[in-house]
């Protein structure tokens, strides 16, 4: 005898509670999305744009992704590239060699209190060589430097290691964008290899983008 399996029947009150929960969740998502703001701007010195500057938010609660993207520094045509980049706490630093010759690099931590500390030395003997290093699982931004050795000390890359996604590097036009920010007050920090550091307090209103100009003071 052939039987037909009955479809499960959901009780009406349970069904409406589920729909109501989904509706509330959807409305909450819309509200959060509507309130999320964007902070953009330009970094300047003496009225001129400053490229390759690291822009990040200070004292922000960490919101690390499950799988942070790695930061990659490569020796290519005897040059370390890129000059400046951003990595994430708990992620990886990938060192690569694209040249058919030996390169040796040194990874350093730069700190005002502890000075320069060597974290690793890596010999990269051939093209296609790759070495993965674990970045510190930090709670505050840190600055690392990758330096060439054996006569290549002028080759350097600077890596900002941050515990949240609100960090970027300015383009040649000095511009930057930090998105998906909740309303509130923030301290925007900027670091540049030659011009030093600066910080500015900003206030982001719900659902309204904010554009700022961050100005390095010209040295006398």
In a domain, 25, yes or no: no
Give the structural domain span for 84: 66-163
Q: Which residues contact 145 (CB under 8 A, 6 or more apart)?
A: 107, 108, 109, 110, 116, 156, 157, 158, 159
Q: What is the pLDDT of residue 160?
A: 96
Q: Which residues of the chain have pLDDT under 50?
A: 1-34
Q: What is the pLDDT of residue 136?
A: 84
Q: What is the pLDDT of residue 19?
A: 30
Q: What percent of the chain has pLDDT over 90?
A: 67
In which residue are the tokens 């659902």 written?
Answer: 207
Domain of residue 49, CATH code: 2.60.40.1120
SS3 (DSSP) at 88: strand
User: What is the count of structural domains for the chain?
Assistant: 2
In a domain, 136, yes or no: yes
Residues 134 and 85 both lie in one domain: yes
Residues 180 and 145 both lie in one domain: no
Residues 171 and 155 both lie in one domain: no
Q: What is the pLDDT of residue 139?
A: 84
Residues 72 and 146 both lie in one domain: yes
Residues 199 and 120 both lie in one domain: no
Domain of residue 108, CATH code: 2.60.40.420
In a domain, 91, yes or no: yes
Residues 182 and 148 both lie in one domain: no
Q: What is the pLDDT of residue 30?
A: 33
Residues 126 and 44 both lie in one domain: no
In a domain, 75, yes or no: yes
> Would you call 107 exposed, middle or buried from its count of C-beta atoms within 10 A (0-12, 13-18, 19+)?
buried
């Amino acid at each position: 005898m052939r039987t037909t399996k009955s479809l499960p029947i959901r009780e009406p009150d349970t069904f409406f509670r589920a729909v109501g929960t989904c509706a509330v969740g959807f409305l909450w998502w819309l509200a959060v999305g509507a309130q999320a703001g964007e902070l953009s701007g330009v970094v300047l010195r003496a009225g001129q744009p400053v490229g390759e500057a690291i822009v990040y938010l200070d004292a922000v609660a960490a919101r690390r992704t499950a799988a942070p993207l790695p930061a990659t520094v490569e020796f290519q045509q005897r040059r370390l590239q890129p000059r400046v980049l951003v990595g994430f706490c708990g992620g990886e630093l990938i060192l690569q060699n694209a040249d058919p010759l030996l390169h040796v690099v040194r990874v350093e931590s730069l700190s005002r209190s502890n000075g320069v500390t060597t974290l690793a030395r890596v010999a990269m003997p051939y093209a296609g060589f790759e070495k993965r290093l674990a970045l510190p699982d930090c709670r505050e931004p840190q600055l690392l430097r990758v330096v060439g050795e054996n006569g290549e000390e002028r080759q350097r890359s600077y890596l900002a290691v941050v515990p949240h996604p609100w960090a970027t590097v300015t383009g040649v036009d000095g511009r930057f964008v930090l998105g998906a920010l909740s309303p509130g007050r923030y301290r925007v920090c900027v670091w540049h290899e030659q011009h030093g550091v600066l910080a500015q307090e900003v206030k982001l209103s719900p659902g309204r983008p904010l554009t700022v100009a961050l100005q390095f003071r010209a040295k006398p």
